[in-house]
Amino acid sequence: MASLRERLSTKKILVAPGAYDALTARLVEAAGFEAVYMSGAGVSFSLLAQPDVGLVTQTEMADRVGQMARAISVPLICDGDNGHGNALNLMRTVRLFEERGASAIQLEDQSFPKRCGHLAGKKLVSEVEMVGKIRAACAARRSRDFLIIGRTDSRSVLGLDEALKRARAYREAGADVLFVEAPETREEMREIAKALPGIPLMANMVEGGKTPLVSRPELEELGFALVIYPNSLTRRFVRVAEELLGELKERGTTAHLVPEMTSFTALNELLGIASLGELEKRFLPNE
């Protein structure tokens, strides 16, 4: 299998749907996608039932990285927020994520506590501080196959020109992939790709967010190498769960919903029950 670095060097855009635990990561891989994105917001939603405002700790995130990486064989691209502190904290975050099996970590230039890139009220660290953090991330990783994604949230705070200036600085500091968060029009996305030629660029499709929902072929044509859909699964699951629970409360049964559910057999097949059965035959006593 090609490394994530090699895959991003091709002209075909890499689509990485967002997941938040081992099961959703397995679903993404089973659907045929070549990579999984671990959404920081999704982890906050599922672990704490809290919005994405920097409440999940460094070690809680690292634990989730390990759980998800063990469940799949494709690359896991992980949201590292702002590194959970200064450059030294960030170095530990990078090492933890790499040790737990991530293929890439996304690091942003927000101060602590951070916020979702499509929420108002974000605050930034200085460009100088973030350059130091990118350099620290590159120094902390064990392998160059572990990619550093430099993200700037400055578009909505300081404007697009400043965002592009910061992105160039993060690239010079060693970022392998650049992510200018929350452009507000297709023209801005086109300008980002034009201003940062020859560099793997990441796009973020958040339904209802600041950035227009651009199709995969159009993103590829613009020149983006990677696109994430961080919480599409989460939001669809919540809608379906609300509907099911409402019907159960009203009718007192789920019998009428069985045709709309994944079967018990299919779920266990997805989870690898056959391979576990083979291990039982090999290693458990035959009584």
State the distance between the two ends of the chain, measured CA to CA, in whole angstroms: 41
d(CA 175, CA 193): 16
pLDDT of 226: 98
Amino acid of residue 18: G
Asked whether residue 280 is assigned to any structural domain, the reply reads no
Domain count, the chain: 1
Asked whether residue 267 is assigned to any structural domain, the reply reads no
Asked whether residue 260 is assigned to any structural domain, the reply reads no
37, HSE (Cβ side, Cα atoms, 13 Å): 25
Residue 210's CATH number: 3.20.20.60
What range defines the domain where residue 14 resides? 4-237
Q: Which residue has the tokens 């059965």?
A: 277
Asked whether residue 112 is assigned to any structural domain, the reply reads yes
Cβ neighbours of residue 65 under 8 Å, at least 6 residues apart?
38, 76, 78, 96, 97, 100, 101, 102
Question: Which residues is 106 bridged to in the sheet?
Answer: 79, 149
Asked whether residue 99 is assigned to any structural domain, the reply reads yes
How crowded is residue 239: how many other Cβ atoms within 10 Å of its Cβ? 10
Q: Which residue has the tokens 């859909």?
A: 229
DSSP-H helix ranges across the chain: 4-8, 22-30, 40-48, 58-71, 87-100, 127-140, 155-158, 160-173, 186-195, 216-222, 232-251, 264-270, 273-283
Question: Which residues is 14 bridged to in the sheet?
Answer: 226
d(CA 255, CA 154): 51
| Residues 64 and 91: beta-carbon distance below 8 Å | no
Question: Tens place of pLDDT for every residue, the chain, 287 residues?
Answer: 679 999 999 989 999 999 999 999 999 999 999 999 999 999 999 999 999 888 999 999 999 999 999 999 999 999 999 999 999 999 999 999 999 999 999 999 998 777 665 667 678 999 999 999 999 999 999 999 999 999 999 998 999 999 999 999 999 999 999 999 999 999 999 999 999 999 999 999 999 999 999 999 999 999 999 999 999 999 999 999 999 999 999 999 999 999 999 999 999 999 999 998 899 889 998 86
191-212 as b/e: b if 16+ CB within 10 A: bbbebbeebbbbbbbbeebbbe
d(CA 164, CA 209): 20
Asked whether residue 229 is assigned to any structural domain, the reply reads yes
pLDDT of 122: 79
Task: Provide the residue count of the chain.
Answer: 287
Numbers of helices and strands, H then E, in the chain: 13, 8
Q: Which residue has the tokens 């983006």?
A: 224
Asked whether residue 224 is assigned to any structural domain, the reply reads yes
Asked whether residue 196 is assigned to any structural domain, the reply reads yes
